[in-house]
Structure 1
Amino acid sequence: MICINKNRERTMKMNSVLWAASLSLAGAGMAQAETVRIPINEWTGQHISAHITGTLLEKAGHDVEYVTAGAVPQFAAIANGDLHLQPEVWTNNVGDIYPKAVESGDITVVGQLGLQPQEGWIYPPYMAEKCPGLPDYQALYDCAQAFAAADTFPKGRLITYPADWGTRSKDVVAMIDMPFEPVAGGSEGAMIAELKSATATQDPILMMFWQPHWLFADMEMEWVAWDPADGECVEEEGQERGKACGFQQASIDKIINAEFAEANPSVAAVFEQISIDNEVQNALMLEIDQKGRDLEEVVAEWIDANEETWGPWVEAGRAAQ
C-alpha cells in the first residue's frame, strides 16, 4: 500500500497486468546464469531495497540486471527463473498467488527484509495534551470534540485514504461505533499538505496513514494504539470497543527462485544477510521523493557511509563462492 509513498494496494492492482519486460534467456539454464535479475516494482521504497541489494551483490562479484515487473505478475517470473530474487514482498497486497508460488517449492522465502510496515491512525504529539489517554484508541471516545471541525462537530474529524483506495477506516469507525466522521483525503499529496498545514498552526488532526514513508523522516508523528489481536487482526468483522485490533499489518519477505539459490550459493548468502529498517528507507525516500535526488546517487551515498553494516553481508557471499 504506491511508490511506497503511494497507495500500495491501488498501484499493485493497476500493475497486475502482464509485466512488460522482454527477457532474452538465449537458452541459458539457471545454473549457468551470470546475471542476477531483480524485479523493479511500482514504489520508491522497493526501488531502494532492490538497488541496495543489487549494489551489494555487485560488490560480492556478481552482475546484476534490474527488470521492470508488476508486483503480482513477478511471482510467476521468479518461480520459473526469468527473474531471480525480490527483497521486498508486501504480503498483504498480493492475494493468494504468492503463497501458492511458495507452496509449489519454486520460490524460497529467505526471511524478512527488516522493515516494520504499519498502517493506522496518526496524530501530531501536541494532540496528546488535548486528548489525555492517547495513544490508546479508547481515549478518542472521550475527546472526539478535540478533533472536531466545523463540518463534523460534535464528532471528531478523521481523514481517511482517498475514496478509491477503499473504506477501511470508515468500516472500523462504524464497527466500533466511534464518534468520528471519516472524511476521504483527496490524494496522498493533499493528505500530506493538510497534515503539514495543521501542524504548522497546531490545529487538531487525525489521519489514516502508513509507513515506511518519507513523512516520518520529516515530521514527528504518533500512532493510535489498538487492542492486541487474538492471532491476526481481521478488519472486516468482529471488532468492537474493547476488542478492536484496528488494521491488519503486513510482513515484508525476501524471496528467491529455489533452483537459482541452490546453483548460486554466494548470491543466496548475501541475500540472506541483507536487512533494511524503516529508519533507513524513510530517510532515503525523503531524499528521492521530496528533495528530487537521483535514486542511484542516494543509494550509493548510503553504501559509502555504511560499510560497517553491509561489509559482513558481502563477506558472507564471498565465503560461499
Structure 2
Amino acid sequence: MNIRNLLCTAAFCAVAGLGAGHASAAESQDTIKIALNEWTGQQLSARIAAELLRKMDYKVELVTAGGLPQFTAMAKGELHANPEVWDNSITDIYTNGLASGELVNLGDLGLKPRDGWIYPPYMAELCPGLPSYQALYDCTQAFSNAETFPDGRLIAYPADWGTRSQQLVAALELPFKAVPGGSEGAMIAELKGAIAAKQPIVMMMWEPHWIFSQMDLNWVEWDASDGNCVESEESRGKACGFAQAHVNKIVSASFPDKWPNAAKFMEKYTLTNDEQSRLIFEVDQDHRPIEEVVAEWIDQNKDKWSVWTAP
C-alpha cells in the first residue's frame, strides 16, 4: 500500500489539484529552508531543488542538518524540506513524524538505491567462500587490524547516519568490530588507499555512487528472503542483510499550505541514478565546485525541469 496516500494530510490533499507554478501573492513570503546533509549526492539533490525554487521566485536557504536531527527540526517547522531521504537509515522520529502528520512524504525522488557491504575482489583469495556473508565467520583475521585483532574490522556508515551495520554484526554474532566512517570522503579515501595497497577491507557502501564506475567492487551476499528484509529479525542462517531504501522527498506539515506551488514542484522533481552518479563524480573526483556543477545541470536540462516549474 502506498504510504504517501495513507499519510497524506488533509491540507496537502487539498492543494494536490492545484497547478504548479511560480510563487504567488497567496503563498507565504517566508524563506523555505532545505536541509543539507553530509553526503555529496544529497547535497546535489538539495541544491538543484533550491535553485529551481529560486527560479520560481521563492526565497530559499540551505541549512546544514544532521541526518537524524533534521526530522525533529522539520517537525518543529525549523526546517521545511529534504528532497533526498533514504528511509532505511532513519529512526522513530521519522516514522512517527509521518504517522502523526508532522512530516509529509511528497513521493519518490526516482533514485534506485542499494546499500550493503562491499569488498575488493582480491579479498576473495584471502577469504574463500565470499561473497556469502557466512565466509566472514572463518576469515575474521583476514579483515583485522591492530585495533580489532582477533576480530575483523568493518567500516560502517558515519555515526550520524545510524548504526545498522553495528546492529547486524551483533544480531549475527559476527566476530567483527563495526567502526563508523568519519565521513563519506574519509570512507572513500580509506577504500582507495586499501585497494592501492591491496590491504584488507570490507565497508558499508551505497549506490548510486561514482565509485562503482571507477573500481571493481563486490557485494557481500545474504540468505534469500521472502518479501522485505526485516533487519530486527535477523540471525545467522536467516540473514537478509539490509532493507533496501526508498528515497523520498520529505517536507514539514506546514509546507504544502504555505507554499502550494512549491509542493507541486517537489512532487514532480526527480533524478536518476546515472544523473546523480555523474554529478557526484564531477564534484568528488574532478573537484569542481558543487555550485558550478548544479548550475551546469540546470543549464543543460531546461526541457526537463521546466515541466516541473511551469505554471
Q: TM-score, normalised by structure 1?
A: 0.67
User: What is the aligned counterpart of 2:266 among 256, 263, 271?
Assistant: 271
1:222 aligns with 2:207: no
Deviates more, 1:184-193 or 1:200-209: 184-193
CA RMSD of aligned residues (A): 4.1
Contact 2:75 2:97 in 1 (8 A): yes
Structure 1 residue identity aligned to 2:45: S
Cα 1:243–1:290 shift into 2, 3 Å: same
What's the secondary structure of 1:160's corresponding residue? Answer: strand
Once the two structures are superposed, the pairs formed by residues 1-321 of structure 1 within 5 Å of their partners are: 31-34=26-29, 37-43=32-38, 44-59=40-55, 61-68=56-63, 70-71=65-66, 74-75=70-71, 78=74, 83-105=79-101, 107-128=103-124, 134-140=130-136, 144=139, 147=142, 157-161=152-156, 169=165, 172-173=168-169, 175-178=171-174, 181-182=176-177, 184=179, 187-188=182-183, 191-213=187-209, 215-216=211-212, 218-229=214-225, 233-236=229-232, 238-257=233-252, 260-261=255-256, 264-307=259-302, 311-318=303-310, 321=311
Alignment partners' CA distance in 2, 1:219 and 1:211:
13
> Alpha-carbon deviation of 1:294?
1.8
**Structure 2 contact 157–204 (Cα < 8 Å) conserved:** no
**What SS does the corresponding residue of 1:138 show, helix, strand or coil?**
helix
Q: Deviations over 1:248-289 (max 9, x none)?
A: 444332123455435655433322121224443344334334
Q: Distance in 1 between matches of 2:91 and 2:206?
A: 19
**Alpha-carbon shift at residue 218 of structure 1 (Å):** 4.0
TM-superposed deviation, 1:300: 1.1
Instruction: Give the CA deviation at 1:173.
Output: 4.1
In structure 2, the partner of 1:5 is none
- Partner of residue 20, structure 1: none
Q: Deviations over 1:79-119 (max 9, x none)?
A: 57665432122334553333333334354311122334444
In structure 2, relative to structure 1, the CA distance for the partners of 1:48 and 1:185 (3 Å cut) is closer
Q: Using a 3 Å threshold, how does the CA distance of structure 1 residues 64 and 280 change in structure 2: closer, same or farther?
A: farther
SS of the equivalent of 1:32 reads coil
- Whether the 8 Å contact between 2:153 and 2:178 is mirrored in structure 1 is yes
Deviation at 1:167, TM superposition (A): 6.7
Deviations 1:50-92 (Å, cap 9, x if unpaired)?
1111223344x33241142535555466557665432122334
Residues 315 and 224 of structure 1: is their aligned pair in 2 closer, same or farther, counting only changes over 3 Å?
same
Return closer, same or farther for 1:303/1:84 CA change in 2, 3 Å cut-off. same
Q: TM-score, normalised by structure 2?
A: 0.69
One-letter amino acid of the structure 1 residue matched with residue 195 of structure 2:
T
The runs of 5 or more residues in structure 2 that have no matched partner are 1-23
Alpha-carbon deviation of 1:123? 0.9
List alignment gaps of at least 5 residues for structure 1: 1-28
CA contact (8 A) 1:217 1:283 kept: no
Quote the Cα distance in structure 1 between the aligned partners of 2:79 and 2:25.
10
Q: Secondary structure at the match of 2:37?
A: coil
Q: Distance in 2 between matches of 1:263 and 1:222?
A: 46
- 8 Å CA contact 2:34–2:50 kept in 1: the answer is no
1:295-321 Cα distance to aligned partner (Å, 9 max, x none): 2111112223334xxx34432442xx3
Change (3 A) 1:301 1:159: same
* Partner Cα separation in structure 1 for residue 54 and residue 293 of structure 2: 17
- CA, structure 1 residues 273+145, in 2 after alignment: closer, same or farther (shift >3 Å)? same
* Whole-angstrom distance in 2 between the partners of 1:148 and 1:255: 38
Residue number in structure 2 paired with 1:8? none
Higher relative contact order (CA 8 A, sep 6+): 2
Q: Quick one: percent identity of the two aligned structures?
A: 44
Q: How far apart, CA to CA, are the structure 1 residues paired with 2:117 and 2:107?
A: 28
